[in-house]
Structure 1
Amino acid sequence: MSSHDSSQRGSGSAFLPFILIGVILLGLLLFSGFYLVEPGKATIHLRLGTIIKTNTSAGLYFKIPLVDSITTFDLRIQMATIETNALSKDLQGVSVGMVVNYRIQDAAALYQNIGTEFEKIIINPFVQESVKAVVAKFDAESLIQKRHEAKERVIDELTTRLSSKHIQLVDFNFTHLDFSEDFIKAVESKQIAEQDAKRAENQTKQVREEATQARARAEAEAFALKVKRESLTPELIKLKEVEAQIKAIEKWDGHLPQITGSTIPLMPLLDKHAEIKK
């Protein structure tokens, strides 16, 4: 009797590990039937490959283990960094860096039409095509000066193209527009030449202005001399001669000069001086 009980206990102990493993597997299976939807995300609930519902509200949801599957999409603003090469209108090579901010509008439609590799399949090619098309409308120098205008054109084109694929364009920015070293040197040389030409033009204007001023001064002086000459009437000349003689008399010390030969008619001068004093 005791040996029979011992054999039963031994056989029961042999199955115990299998029972524990079964319980653990059942627990894992039941646990895998639940999934969590985080805030700002959407889940596509698939049953045997068919979409049965889309969950966009945060919370805990149930799915049939081994039958249902879940695909998650981030509905928040996402960023894609893209690099490409383009040609300007004057056939200058441009290395372009871009940052694209976007948001998924309809996760179910996006998954059904494109899948989860939408950034590689849609966003990257669309952005490169739009940027190359816009860059080709500007020559190299204009592209540098009108960078903001080029950006706005890319945004207009991308907004329409991505919207048709259930993706909202939030923002687009150039991170860099790099040209070849030869082109950069050519631009610098042109800028230096333009600065030199502007400096020479300013100097020429200054010389012309100084010449104009000098001419104006000369004309004014000539006009003044002309007026002065025209104002010298015979009466004024005679009066100036008399004033000069009077000044000579006023300086006379009363002694007649010792002169041999003909006499100097001094009396008429004295008479004129007396008349003027009266």
Structure 2
Amino acid sequence: MATKIFDLMRKLGLGLVAAGGVANLTLYNVDAGHRAVIFDRFRGVQDVVVGEGTHFLIPWVQKPIIFDCRSRPRNFPVTTGSKDLQNVDVTLRLLFRPAMLQLPRIYTTIGEDYDERVLPSIAMESLKSIVARFDSEELITQRELVSGQLSADLTERAATFGIILDDVSLTHLTFGKEFLAAVEMKQVAQQEAERARFMVEKAEHEKKATIIATEGDSKAAELIAGALISVGDGLVELRKLEAAEDIAAQLSQSRNVTYLPLGQAKFLPPSQ
């Protein structure tokens, strides 16, 4: 009796193992943010894109190819030339993902490593083409314009391969030693020119101030001369009286001066 029960359990266990193996062969999972394309040995790559979850397939006949459809970054360092023939070191950063509905075409025409096959070539070509349209100063002062043109060009080219670009940006931009030296010399020359312009303006202002002061003195002399001519000797007498009044005020404060009525003045010895 015990032997029969043991044989039954062994057969049941083998059946469960076999069923589990069959289940593993007929089921596959598509994780979040991923999509699957089915390759059928008899019909080729299916046009249907399989979404997230657990799905069935025919063992040996069908095979799932899983694609990561989340945005992923890639950096491309490039050394290229500007419009004014300056060497420029640029790092281009792309945030990309595949177009879900075009996954069957991507797998059929390019392969699972579509990003390695497509992105480096179009990124290098577009970057060199766009940078060559600007000179060194424009690459610095018009960086947003450069990024905008590069984004438009790359987005259009990537779309032909079924790739979506969520972001295109220039994360690094440097120039050669010759350009940096030229920029420094230009800045020094500009500073010297500004200094010379300031000195010229200062001299002109001083010249104008001198002319205005001279004209003012001349005008004052003319006014005084005119007043003397119109008033005659009266103004001279007035100035004499004002001078005598000032002298009398000063003498009144002296201890050695004594005032007497008119006609009685005489010299007195200094007071002891």
What range describes the TM-score normalised by the shorter chain of this pair?
0.7 to 0.9
Deviations 1:32-85 (Å, cap 9, x if unpaired)? 321111222110111128112533421111122223211111222221111112
Q: Quick check: 1:44 aligned with 2:40?
A: no
Which runs of 5 or more structure 2 residues have no equivalent in the other structure?
Answer: 249-258, 267-272
Residue number in structure 1 paired with 2:236? 241
TM-align CA RMSD: 3.1
- 1:22 offset after TM fit, Å? 10
Match of 1:154 among 127, 150, 154: 150
61-70 or 80-89, which moves further after superposition? 61-70
Q: Quick check: 1:62 aligned with 2:56?
A: yes
**What secondary structure is seen at the aligned counterpart in 1 of 2:93?**
strand
What is the distance in 2 between the residues matched to 1:42 and 1:244? 112
- 1:225 offset after TM fit, Å? 1.9
Q: Given residue 241 of structure 1, which amino acid in structure 2 is its aligned partner? A: V
154-163 or 22-31, which moves further after superposition? 22-31
What is the distance in 1 between the residues matched to 2:244 and 2:25? 138
Residue number in structure 2 paired with 1:116? 112
Alpha carbons 1:37, 1:55 under 8 Å: kept: no
Deviations 1:230-256 (Å, cap 9, x if unpaired)? 2321x5231123335656888696359
Residue-pair matches, total? 242
Residue number in structure 1 paired with 2:138? 142
- 1:174 offset after TM fit, Å? 0.5
TM-score between both structures, scaled by the size of structure 2: 0.77
What is the distance in 1 between the residues matched to 2:86 and 2:77? 17
- 1:162 offset after TM fit, Å? 1.2
What is the distance in 2 between the residues matched to 1:54 and 1:107? 9
What is the distance in 2 between the residues matched to 1:212 and 1:91? 48
What is the distance in 2 between the residues matched to 1:159 and 1:44? 24
Match of 1:87 among 81, 91, 94: 81
- 1:21 offset after TM fit, Å? 9.1
Q: Given residue 42 of structure 1, which amino acid in structure 2 is its aligned partner? A: R
Q: Given residue 57 of structure 2, which amino acid in structure 1 is its aligned partner? A: K
**What secondary structure is seen at the aligned counterpart in 1 of 2:236?**
helix
Deviations 1:180-238 (Å, cap 9, x if unpaired)? 122212212212321232233223323322332232222222222222222321x5231
Distance 1:53 1:68, change over 3 A: same
TM-score between both structures, scaled by the size of structure 1: 0.75
